[in-house]
Amino acid sequence: YNYLAEVYRSIEKTDLAAQNYQKALELDSSYLDARINLAAMQKDMSALETIVSQNPDNAMAVYYLSRLYDDEKAYQFLLKHNFPIYDIQHRLGELALTLAPNNAEQYFKNAFELNPYSVTAQINLGNFAVQRQDWQQAEKLFRRAIELDKNSLSKVYKLYKVLTINGFNLKWDLSK
């Protein structure tokens, strides 16, 4: 039922998702994934805080709870629960962009190492390469983002313009 609930949740049929999470919990009241998913979908901070206090090593619960906190609290919370998991490292990078800019790139590097197929990790690291005026690294990262997801073209095109404006003449064959 948990998996069926996830399908309903992904197509924004939250009533059906909630019913299926509840069915999963009726079958096994200790089923942690269903409890976490239901609390996250319902944005039930109290339930997630309880789950995290009882299961501090559960990265999924930590991640979902961090999404409900304001940025400062989320950042401090994730620093305490700094799991080597892509979603948490990426979230730390996003939060660090405004709260601790000197640390942001490292979190995005961590995320990239954990998931080298992440388009957003490629683009974020490409942005840092542009800031450093490391045009070759930026090109490499943006090319890889395009290879991974042709739908990322609009994001990468904006960054491509930054590169060409700065004198880095890129010749990309986007048909590949």
Does residue 38 contact residue 26 with C-beta atoms inside 8 Å? no
Q: Please give the average per-residue pLDDT across 136-164, as a whole number.
A: 75
pLDDT value of position 148: 84
Distance of CA 1 to the CA centre of its chain: 25
Q: 133 pLDDT band (50/70/90 cuts)?
A: confident
At position 147, the amino acid (one-letter code) is E
Q: What is the pLDDT of residues 35-87, one digit of tens each?
A: 999 999 999 999 999 999 999 999 999 999 999 999 999 999 999 998 999 99
141: nearest Cα among 167, 118, 158, 164: 118
